[in-house]
């Protein structure tokens, strides 16, 4: 049985085969960028006024009073100072007038009109004024042709803003995969149904569809009965029209756990079956010759969700950061397995603390609604003490 | 000028007026729940087999060998043990047969057929077997009529799973508000345009639209020129058909910063104008008599984004947790303002560390692409030391 680290490594080494599309800018948020984005010109593209106030030439003016000869609004062509001892009123976002190098804020001057001539007196000490202040110099943030964003990053609103500025109304992104969610288990009925005493309503397929929807991936959902012929035929059909299959259930030691054998019959290469972890030990992972990916997850809801968050999400979503938490309660766990425990996190003096909710095991998913992630307790220890640091798999973003 | 804490308090005390809709379950993810969700029956609803293996009555069997009299699959009506000294093969998810109380995993038994009779011998010591093991007792997680989810929580995939299980195919959620994003600033041109040397392309509207889209809110976007009559007329129109207006630009001390005066002319109550913070000092917040909310944010992109993340997002999205980070570099900032600095965070021994990127100020939004949030340095200090703990406003979820 392989370790959690080995399993994750195998999953990450076998990504689904993505294609690239050019999409409108706003459709790119949350997706993975498929091209480098360059600065089309300097950032800022001109010497930009950073405060509303008065622009002048620091070395030329009389700091007692400055006659105002003009006004420069944002969005106007750059004006020029005619008399180097005078000043020009300027607005934030405007081009700094030619001949000026420094800007004083309106808060730091008084403007009076004397015989129709506007004159500014300065209300702060000269020593407080620095040559060049309140000017955002052309190219000081980025130079034209600098790489602003690299292919492969996840696109958040900040990257959308940068791409807007360089005029990328259409941007190349990795297409999201076509994913089929397939639940098995004859005890499951649909949510619209009143279950008989020994039945339960399906929940995994909704949970997975919701989690994928949150990262902008639409899914198709199927429920298959536990009959070998049906499973074989349906899986064969479904796999032709999807890039990734997410199965839940049917991978354990039960008499009707046909999934691993049928995936083998369908010609898939098994990359692993069983991981040294609790919950989720029976997880199966493999791929077709064409590179389609199948995750067959155990059917207990907590197992399904843990395996999804730990293994499936990182393959779909670039830039997931590794996080750590500090246990606020001792846990003892003897089996030679990595132990993932639902936790509720909170901050205490800059530390991310985690309160474990062991609950009643991998079917106790009502428990998850009190939690925001799993702490990952390694297989090679048995006692996990308050104050020790462990990995964290978050599920509320 | 009010403090950041006072401003946030005023914003949170003046929420937009939400309405409630009943939506299909999967449309509810990311939204705020508008009804309590009760357990329709016990969780689990029957004594549920938690492992594939053999069920029996702990006090009755001979632990040397157990004759197998039947098999109980998941999804079948509950069977009953006929002979209390015998056992029944059981599958995960099945109803525990009547008369049984304990389950041994297949891994812990050997099954042989002797004269067509299946007999299990146990491969572990009797001391390792606990009465009741591997049975998930009816009602052990939740009882029928327990409140599983409370009105007002944010719905994540875990809550979707719980609602699926209790048959909530339609669920009541708060409607997302109708939001108009309105940029002003005559230096701005659309992203499809080649800007003149003194113009820049609009980026704030795209950034805000992308951020709202990520939390499932569609927006309408407008760009208005800096003319009083136009602003008055257009804002009057836009406000009638939206719940929230997000303006960027036009709120500072510039000669064309007409926004606060026009909002007053339109009859809005100003709840605050100017916050003791950098960036974002000129922020304006108010509402109409009908309870429509207007955020007028400063137009520099970093200011816009900080104000959006700090003040706007918490009103739209339930359950944002307060987070803290530890500075990994000293910062000195003298003005009597809260100072929000873009930071890149990472984990170190369970601590969330933050590297500040002061950059070149509130127009330097290329900087944000290296960061994942802002550290909030309080106004009453001037020196912020490595290792000190401060609040964190994250923007990559």
- Residue-range definition of the domain harbouring residue B29: 21-38+149-174
Q: Are residues A34 and A167 in the same domain?
A: yes
Q: What is the pLDDT of residue B367?
A: 87
Q: Are residues B260 and B156 in the same domain?
A: no
CB B103 within 8 A of CB B84: no
Alpha-carbon span A215 to A218, nearest angstrom: 9
CATH number for the domain that contains residue B237: 3.40.980.10
Tokens of A56: 């002048």
Of the residues B289, B316, B343, the one at which a domain ends:
B316
Q: What ipTM score was computed for the predicted complex, to two decimals?
A: 0.92
Torsion of CA A168, A170, A172, A173, to 10 degrees: 100
pLDDT in tens, B330-355: 999 999 999 999 999 999 988 999 99
- pLDDT band at A321, cuts 50/70/90? confident
Q: What is the pLDDT of residue B39?
A: 96
Interface test with B, best of A106, A155, A187 (most B CBs within 10 A): A187
Domain count, chain A: 4
Q: Are residues B245 and B160 in the same domain?
A: no
pLDDT in tens, B118-170: 999 999 999 999 999 999 999 999 999 999 999 999 999 999 999 999 999 99
Alpha-carbon span A68 to A84, nearest angstrom: 11
Of A115-124, A354-363, B39-48, the least confident:
A354-363
Does some domain include residue B144? no
CATH number for the domain that contains residue A145: 3.90.105.10
Q: What is the pLDDT of residue B320?
A: 81
CATH number for the domain that contains residue A68: 2.170.190.11
Of the residues A88, A111, A136, the one at which a domain ends:
A136
Q: Are residues B280 and B338 in the same domain?
A: no
Residues 145-164 of chain A with CB under 8 A from chain B are: 148-149, 153-154, 156-164
| Residues of chain A contacting B45 with CB distance shorter than 8 Å | 195, 197, 200
CB B268 within 8 A of CB B287: yes
- Percent helix, strand and coil across chain B, each rounded to 5? 20, 35, 45
Q: Are residues B242 and B308 in the same domain?
A: yes
Q: Are residues B193 and B269 in the same domain?
A: yes
Does some domain include residue B141? no
Phi, psi of A49 (to 5 degrees): -70, 130
Phi, psi of A59 (to 5 degrees): -80, -10
CB B116 within 8 A of CB B67: no
Number of residues that make up chain B: 397
- Is the CB of B366 less than 8 angstroms away from the CB of A44? no
Mean pLDDT throughout A58-71? 96
Q: Are residues A112 and A30 in the same domain?
A: no
- Is the CB of A350 less than 8 angstroms away from the CB of B389? yes
CATH number for the domain that contains residue B366: 2.40.340.10
Q: Are residues B87 and B132 in the same domain?
A: yes
Q: For A133, which DSSP code?
A: T
Torsion of CA A24, A30, A34, A36, to 10 degrees: 90
Q: Are residues B170 and B187 in the same domain?
A: no
B99–chain A nearest CA distance, Å: 16
pLDDT in tens, B64-112: 999 999 999 999 999 999 999 999 999 999 999 999 999 999 999 999 9
Phi, psi of A68 (to 5 degrees): -100, 120
Q: Are residues A381 and A344 in the same domain?
A: yes
Residues 260-289 of chain B with CB under 8 A from chain A are: none
CB B21 within 8 A of CB B175: yes
Does some domain include residue B87? yes
Does some domain include residue B61? yes
Q: Are residues A304 and A204 in the same domain?
A: yes
Of the residues B174, B190, B222, the one at which a domain ends:
B174
Does some domain include residue B43? no
Closest-approach residue (CA) in chain B for A159: B369
Cα–Cα separations (whole angstroms), residue B333 to A189, A193, B257: 61, 62, 28
Q: Are residues B227 and B351 in the same domain?
A: no
pLDDT in tens, B203-230: 999 999 999 999 999 999 999 999 999 9
């Amino acid at each position: 049985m392989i370790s959690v680290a080995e399993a994750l490594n195998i999953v990450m080494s076998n990504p689904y085969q993505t294609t690239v599309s050019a999409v409108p800018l706003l459709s790119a948020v949350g997706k993975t960028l498929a091209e480098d984005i360059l600065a089309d010109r300097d950032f800022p593209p001109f010497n930009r006024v950073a405060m509303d106030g008065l622009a002048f030439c620091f070395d030329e003016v009389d700091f007692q009073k400055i006659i105002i000869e003009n006004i420069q609004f944002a969005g106007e062509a750059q004006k020029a100072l005619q008399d180097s001892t005078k000043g020009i009123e300027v607005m934030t976002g405007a081009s700094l007038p030619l001949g000026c190098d420094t800007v004083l804020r309106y808060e730091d001057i008084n403007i009076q009109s004397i015989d129709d001539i506007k004159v500014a007196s300065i209300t702060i000490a000269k020593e407080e004024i620095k040559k060049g202040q309140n000017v955002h110099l052309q190219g000081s943030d980025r130079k034209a042709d600098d790489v602003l964003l690299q292919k492969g990053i996840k696109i958040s609103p900040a990257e959308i803003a940068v791409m807007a500025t360089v005029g990328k109304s259409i941007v190349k992104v990795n297409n999201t995969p076509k994913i089929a969610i397939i639940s098995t288990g004859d005890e499951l009925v649909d949510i619209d149904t009143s279950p008989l005493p020994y039945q339960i309503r399906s929940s995994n397929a909704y949970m997975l569809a919701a989690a994928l929807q949150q990262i902008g991936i639409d899914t198709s959902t199927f429920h298959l009965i536990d009959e070998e012929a049906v499973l074989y035929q349906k899986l064969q059909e479904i796999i032709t029209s999807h890039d990734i299959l997410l199965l839940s259930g049917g991978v354990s030691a039960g008499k009707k756990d046909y999934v691993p054998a049928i995936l083998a019959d369908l010609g898939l290469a098994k990359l692993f079956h069983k991981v040294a972890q609790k919950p989720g030990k029976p997880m199966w992972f493999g791929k077709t010759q064409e590179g389609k990916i199948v995750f067959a997850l155990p059917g207990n809801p907590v197992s399904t969700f843990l395996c999804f968050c730990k293994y499936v999400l990182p393959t779909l979503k670039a830039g997931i950061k590794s996080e750590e938490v500090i246990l606020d309660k001792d846990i003892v766990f003897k089996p030679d397995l990595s132990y993932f425990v639902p936790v509720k996190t909170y901050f205490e003096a800059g530390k991310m603390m985690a309160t474990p909710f062991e609950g009643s095991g991998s079917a106790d998913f009502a428990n998850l609604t009190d939690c925001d992630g799993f702490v990952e307790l390694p297989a090679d220890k048995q006692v996990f003490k308050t104050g020790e640091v462990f990995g964290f798999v978050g599920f509320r973003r």
